Amino acid sequence: MKIGKLLEKAKTEHSLSKDDIIELLNSDGILLCKAADEVREKYKGNNVHLRGLIEFSNICGRSCYYCGLRSENKKVERYRLSDEEIFLSAQNAVNAGYKTLVLQSGEDSYYTVDRLCRIIENLRKNDVVITLSIGERTFEEYKILKEAGVERYLLRIETTDRNLYGALHPKMSIDNRFECLYNLKKLGYETGTGVLVGLPNQTISSLAEDILFFKELNADMVGIGPLIPHPETPLKDASKDNFDMALKVMAVTRLVLPDINIPATTAMETIRKNGRIIALNSGANVVMPNMTIGKYRKYYEIYPDKICINDSPLKCIDCIKLKIETAGRKVSQTKGYRNDIN
């Protein structure tokens, strides 16, 4: 089918076959990104949701082949924020009007559910939505955290290609990852997932399967990260040229899941000047500025040359607002649930 006709169908039906998706991913992406931008405007309006990201621990027991926080990387200085530092980071975001906090860490077993519940209880004294992104936990743990007031959870599947997943995640199981995501949905979390684009041996066909999985899960949020090779990982020599494909995967995701929240990811800005604005103009409607206080930002080095590591939360708050407004969009005043239009 001609690309124009395919996009017209996608804009009205929001359903695409695997072959359709492959065709779109093989296109130059110009018409695709325009169509995704139109769908975003129709379903999500012009407002952009800001989620304040707090990277509260870079300690991780896993060894994902792409990630600078993997336990085998002895060169990174490890840290945990104190409860007080987490609270102060949150306060900056809340004072700036942020309605959602995202607490992210490596898979750090120090954070038992009891410890997490104490932190959450403290943060919930503010009128904010709490999102967690701390990796795989049991159904019971997710349940307790939900009951403690966590409303959203981010857990990327990273790739749905079984062989590729197995090759990049020692001692991890893709079936457990799928199960975690379905458990989160079952428990009523707004569930975010996503993939890395540019993994060695990843094919267009497997990226198309990834998008079909987002649809099957009925993900509430999807974050697409271009892989940025980290020098202290086994993927240090992988391709760095992953922006354009990541943008196309994001745009197709918007077409098939028109009402979900899609972030313009920090990784996109790291490898392309104005990458977040390009993403906001290609289907995205969320930005997650870094609200971590103090010296810790530079140690949360999942990939090299990450933006904002030497900036303060206040600088990021002003910077991102200006960028959004310059791009003709507005910062949303709502909590940004999937069902919120603006």
> Interface with ligand SAM by CB under 6 A: which residues?
66-67, 69, 104, 106-107, 133, 135, 155-156, 158, 196, 225, 227-228, 230, 267, 302-303
Q: Tell me whether residue 225 or residue 283 sits nearer to ligand SAM (CB atom).
A: 225
Q: Shortest CA distance to 59 belongs to which of 77, 82, 85, 75?
A: 77
Q: Tell me whether residue 31 or residue 187 sits nearer to ligand SAM (CB atom).
A: 187
164 neighbors 201 (Cβ within 8 angstroms): yes
- What's the farthest any 2 CA atoms get from each other in the chain? 57
242 neighbors 197 (Cβ within 8 angstroms): yes
Three-class SS state of 55: strand
For position 69 contacting ligand SF4 by CB under 6 A, the verdict is yes
> Where do the H-state alpha helices sit in 169-312?
174-186, 204-217, 243-256, 266-271, 275-280
Binding to ligand FES (CB under 6 A) within 267-296 occurs at 289
Stretch that binds ligand SF4, among 47-55, 66-74, 215-223, 242-250 (CB under 6 A): 66-74
From ligand SAM, ligand SF4, ligand FES, none, interface partner of 289 (C-beta below 5 to 8 A by class): ligand FES
The span from the CA of 183 to the CA of 186, in Å, is 5
Pattern 127-166, ligand FES, x by CB under 6 A: ----------------------------------------
Q: Which of 52, 106, 229, 313 binds ligand SF4 (CB under 6 A)?
A: 106
138 neighbors 176 (Cβ within 8 angstroms): no
Note the residues at the interface with ligand SF4 (CB under 6 A): 60, 62, 64, 67, 69-70, 106-107, 135
